[in-house]
Amino acid sequence: MNCRKVAINILERIINEGAYSNIILSNELNNSDLSDKDKALVTEIVYGTLRRLKTIDTIIASFVKDISIMDKKILNILRVAVYQMNYLDKVPSYAACNEAVEEAKEISDKDSKLVNGILRNFVKKEGKFDIVFRNKIDEIAFDLSFEPWMVRMFIKQYGEHEALEILEGLNNTPKMTVRVNSIKGDYEDVYEELEEAGYNIEEGCICPEAISIKGGKGIENNQAFVDGKITVQDESAMLISPLLDLEEGMKVLDLCCAPGGKTTHIGELLNNTGEVLGFDLHENKLELVKENYERLGITNIKLAQMDATKLDAKLVSYADRVLLDVPCSGIGIIRKKPEIKWTKKRKDLKEIVEVQREILENAWEYLKTGGVMVYSTCTLNKEENEENIKWFLSKHKYATIEKVFIGKGANLCYNQMGTLTILPNEYMDGFFVAKIKKN
């Protein structure tokens, strides 16, 4: 099966059936007999089409009466073709057009003529489409391919200049980053081992334990990964666990722990001493955390299913440290999961705030006096971030902000309150973190 067909099938599952891009893409590619080069092209087409979906659909809509009544498979064939023709230099326009027409023929001759007509017109336009924008927001939404409500939200919360930087940052193609596990390997040795295995790598941009992988084969079958010397984690997420100021022998709670990147980092920083209790709402996700910590050789983690919005009396005043990487809208990780642009609605962001606040209240009960709690999200929506922290501080007079400082960087925004927002770029996801002490 060719790359385009595989890409179209994967997009069908994501756009029409709600599958998660990272999971379905990984499963389909692992079960295919495509070469590494072809797998890279499929990945580029799938993520690129999702990333630019609004722009692509607006272009297609300029050639038809009503895009909403088009056959869904034909629409995805067109989307992939337009993405390749508009954004990929390495695929000649005539080739993308011819392949799309051939694929449409398998559905019907009428559909193949429609596809042929639209794509021929697309080529004739030479990038100058008949699109009328009602306002500047719609123009930004088209240019950067975001829903207008999200553009408006970022401009309202950050101002236009920073909002545009955020939107452009979220359109970056992410590099894969791995964290070296100090329990099993030395950074320099692991770095050398990856180089010898043919990976194109560089040191992380901010975390001392990070290695950025620019090219090479998939990491899952790499010996260093199999041996537990490395684990895949974004640099933004790597910054969170060290902020707990961990000391050997401590009791630590991670209330929303799946898939386990930060949980295993805590266990590693404690050097397999103390106790890390990891909880998650979904029991099936805990299996993934268990696989991770067993592979990494971490022995101080215990897992249990729990709804973090419900208080567990047994845990009151139990923990020296609590990590709250709360469920959130996920807008900061659009680089990795571009479908979030289209699946999230404004009301979802409002509804999640109540859940976050319930978890914050319970976490505070679990923390000993003198203990530290770290609150983090992978969103850039200030209602889920700064506003939640302000709300919490107004309710708890013994809670004080410990200022977060991890160094200087163009994408590190320190708030006057003492919190940190990490803006997305090619190396890092968008993140927010606050550190609170119980006096």
CA distance 84 to 429: 26
Is 262 known to sit in a ligand binding site?
Answer: yes
First vs last Cα of the chain: how many Å apart? 62
CA distance 273 to 4: 50
Is 254 known to sit in a ligand binding site?
Answer: no
Residue 280, H or E segment = strand 275-280
Out of 3, 207, 378, 413, which one is annotated catalytic?
A: 378
Question: In the annotation, is 207 catalytic?
Answer: no
DSSP string, 15-63: IIH---HHHHHHHHHHTS---HHHHHHHHHHHHHHHHTHHHHHHHHHTT
CA distance 402 to 397: 14
CA distance 42 to 188: 33
> What burial class does residue 214 get, using C-beta atoms within 10 Å of its C-beta: 0-12 exposed, 13-18 middle, 19+ buried?
exposed
Is 38 known to sit in a ligand binding site?
Answer: no
What token pair was written down for 8? 């179209």
Is 261 known to sit in a ligand binding site?
Answer: yes
What token pair was written down for 361? 């209240």
Contact predicate 153/345, CB 8 Å: no
> What burial class does residue 256 get, using C-beta atoms within 10 Å of its C-beta: 0-12 exposed, 13-18 middle, 19+ buried?
buried
Angle, alpha carbons 338-381-169 (nearest 5°):
45
CA distance 331 to 337: 9
Question: Looking at this protein, which amino acid is placed at residue 403?
Answer: K
138: nearest Cα among 222, 55, 16, 221: 55
Tell me the HSE value of 186 on the side-chain side, using a 13 A CA sphere. 3
Count CB neighbours of 187 within 10 A: 15
Binding residues: 256-262, 280, 307, 325
Point out the residues that are catalytic: 378
Annotation: binding site for S-adenosyl-L-methionine: 256-262, 280, 307, 325
